[in-house]
A and B are shown apart, each in its own frame.
Chain A
Amino acid sequence: MTLSGPAESLIVIKDLKKWYPVRKGFLSKLGAKDEFVRAVDGVTLEIRKGEVLSLVGESGCGKTTLARLMLRLVDPTEGVITFKGHDLLTATKREMRKMRPQLQAVFQDPYASLDPKQTILQIISEPLSVNKLDKDRRETFNRVALALAAVGLNPPKSFLGKFPYELSGGQRQRVALARAIVIDPSLIVADEPVSMLDVSIRAEILSLMLKLKRELNLTYLFITHDLAVARYISDRMAVMYLGKLVEIGPAEQVCANPVHPYTKALLLALPTTDPNKRKVKIGIKGEVPNLTNIPTGCRFRPRCPYAFEKCMVEPELLRVGGDHYAACYLSDPPS
């Protein structure tokens, strides 16, 4: 990262948990213990001002739930979230109204996230109207036009009256970005923003996101399952497994010198476009366990080729050098 000195935190999360109760029939409830899907199970994390933090992990690891918690779309079971020093969870309605515009989101599916019956003008001005910032029609119009120009939909005027069906997938994702920036947010949570797009336009959206970040001093939480995309776009990378972080650090370090066996496996499994590098076996067996039945001790223990007695006790994130942390007792496991 290019920041000098200790970077300012934008959002700080402490021991955040989100457990969803499992609904059961009346009879099976009798005498049984309540079951929970432990989607997010004790995550501590900070997002620093001006950085791109990517959150990677396989499906069901809790990365989207973590994003929804940060946007306060769902309430946590336990834990603390502070945004610019304000407690996001105990904030009053009035305080929340002030903070909400600063937290915006971009979702995965640009076909589902834009209302098909609204024009582009209505879609992009909605954050303004929801936050009662659309008193002056002329100004609203200008802000929307500026946002459209910023995301490269030129000339903006020609897009204002269009409907989503008239746009391609890449253009739709640009509209989604315009909707996120129109209200001058500080943090954008982007949940798999390029995974639904064709390969040839993914790079276009990624470079646009980096350009917007520079121009508008944005901070991103970038959620993806694609490690190559994460490495390309992010300053720091956090790897999640079964509701917990297993590794976090500068993206370059995490990818070049992964410490946690899970991160190593993810990197090894990644297919490359070089046919001469057909990879060897990865040594990880099985699949991600069910979230209602998380293994005791280290969550990765049953699949880990290096597991030993100590792993019966759940490891915490340990510093493995510089700004790089991993939740593994073997800070340098044999590879």
Chain B
Amino acid sequence: MLSVENLRTYYRTRQGLLKAVDGVSFALEKGEILGLVGESACGKTTVALSIVRLLPSAAQVMGGKILLHGDDLLSKNEGAMRDVRWGKISIIFQGALNSLNPVLPVKEQIAEAMHAHGSVSGAEVDTTITHLFKAVGLDPDRRTNYPHEFSGGMKQRVMIAMALACNPEIVIADEPTTALDVIVQRQILELIRNLRDELHISMILITHDLSVVAQLCDRAVIMYAGRVAEMGDIHGLFESPMHPYTRALLKSIPKMEDAKAQKLSYIPGSVPDLTGPVPACRFYGRCSHGQKICEEVDPQLEESSPGNYVACHFWRQISEA
């Protein structure tokens, strides 16, 4: 239903043009939760902001298409885009816990979004909010409370209710559980999954946390330095990762089951500076399989198994080893 094709979003910086997103393509299917995963500065948030066209002024989409039901969002004017945001695609921002207005009751804040997207009566707003509060597991009587009267997990529930207020088809959630403690994180993940099952919305979940992806997503896109390294269904990704980056990343996470026996490895070096010249394969230099070809020829996404794609010159050798 939503497809991103060869998206390139660059930032103007004092050091030159920073290629934050450089040729990213993926598609979101109806009713699925798609993970957009990667470490800091891999471009995952920039992809999300490009989709809803809320990029900071220093950033610019240089090329590509973002098709919603075949309609290119990048060619829409601002007025048409305003109808898409909230109404068709809503976004829960990173640090959502601080993005509520502290001096307005939460009910007013949700109502504001609803009024901006069509003429709804006060009574309708109230019924919808009551309904939304129940759906996200909050007591509807608390809709007149101010943000400071809610705990972190409850604020996150309010944010989710708000994102659902205009019946969007797609919800983009940027690190929705990152600031929360494990037990609350678990509760929010359960809530998101239930909402997807009940409301049949599609979701893009942006996170750096691979375990959150494993717990919640149907498919995932692994990003590295502005490119897609690998994507596919999560069983494929976690059980037989193909890209050296995905493999290394999974090996660097301490696991609860065999923490002591496990030999943690790490990825040497750091992400290349995206303002300067970069090797054709962005992971070249940190990769143990890197060869001359990786420096010179862009690896294309190839289908490694049905539905799973990997951008690595050596994925066949790696999978056989």
Q: Which residues of A contact B (CB under 8 A)?
A: 58-59, 168, 170, 198-204, 206-207, 225-229, 231-232, 251-252, 255, 265-276, 278-279, 281-282, 284, 287-288
Please judge, given known A-B contacts A269-B182, A275-B238, A287-B151, whether A200 and B214 are in contact too, CB under 8 Å.
Answer: no
- Report the bound CA distance from A42 to B267 in whole Å: 42
For the complex, give the distance between the alpha carbons of A87 and B252 in Å.
Answer: 41
A13 CB to closest chain B CB, in angstroms? 24
Can you list 14 A-B contacts with CB-CB less than 8 angstroms, sorted by A residue number?
A58-B181, A200-B267, A203-B265, A228-B254, A231-B254, A232-B259, A266-B183, A270-B182, A271-B186, A271-B211, A275-B234, A276-B235, A282-B186, A284-B183
Q: Which of A203, A282, A284 contacts B266 (CB 8 A)?
A: A203
User: Which 9 residue pairs across A and B have the least CB separation, nearest first?
Assistant: A58-B181, A271-B211, A204-B266, A203-B264, A231-B259, A200-B267, A232-B254, A269-B186, A198-B39
CA distance A225 to B178 in the complex (A): 12
Task: Give chain A residues whose Cβ lies under 8 Å from the Cβ of B185.
Answer: 269, 271
| Cα distance, A289 to B186, chains bound together (Å) | 18
- Residue B201, interface by CB 8 Å: no
User: Which residues of B line the A interface, CB within 8 A?
Assistant: 39-40, 151-154, 181-186, 189-190, 208-212, 214-215, 234-235, 238-239, 248-250, 252-257, 259-260, 262, 264-268, 270
- Residue numbers in B under 8 Å from A231 (CB-CB): 254, 256, 259-260
In Å, the complex CA distance between A265 and B181 comes to 12
Q: Among A168, A255, A278, A281, which residue has its beta carbon within 8 angstroms of that of B256?
A: A255
The answer on a CB contact under 8 Å between B259 and A275 is: no
Q: How far is the CA of A273 from the CA of B249 in the complex (A)?
A: 11
* A198-B39, A228-B259 known; A271-B181 Cβ under 8 A: no
Do the beta carbons of A229 and B183 come within 8 Å of each other?
Answer: no
**Please, how many angstroms separate the alpha-carbon atoms of A74 and B177 in the complex?**
31
A168-B270, A273-B255, A275-B238 given as contacts; is B153 within 8 A of A232 (CB)? no
Q: Are A202 and B266 in contact (CB under 8 A)?
A: yes
CA distance A227 to B185 in the complex (A): 14
Q: What number of residue pairs across chains A and B have CB atoms under 8 A from each other? A: 121
Known: A227-B182, A272-B255. 7 other contacts (CB 8 A): A58-B183, A199-B252, A231-B256, A255-B259, A271-B189, A284-B183, A287-B153
Cβ–Cβ < 8 Å partners of A204 in chain B: 266, 268
* Given the contacts A198-B40, A202-B266, A273 and B183 also touching, CB distance less than 8 Å: no
B264 lies within 8 A of A232 (CB): yes
Residues of the A chain whose Cβ atoms lie less than 8 Å from the Cβ of B249: 199-200
Assembly CA distance A204 to B249 (angstroms): 12
Residues in chain A near residue B270, CB distance under 8 A: 168, 170, 201
Interface contact A282-B238, CB-CB below 8 Å: no
Name, among A203, A206, A271, the residue most crowded by chain B CB atoms within 10 Å (CB to CB). A271
The answer on a CB contact under 8 Å between B254 and A203 is yes
Whole-angstrom CA separation of A270 from B212 in the bound complex? 9
Nearest A residue to B184 via CB reads: A287
Report yes or no: A206 in contact with B264, Cβ–Cβ below 8 A. Answer: yes
CB B309 to nearest CB in A, in angstroms, measures 18
Q: Are B214 and A198 in contact (CB under 8 A)?
A: no
Residues of B contacting A288 in the complex (Cβ-Cβ under 8 angstroms)? 151, 181
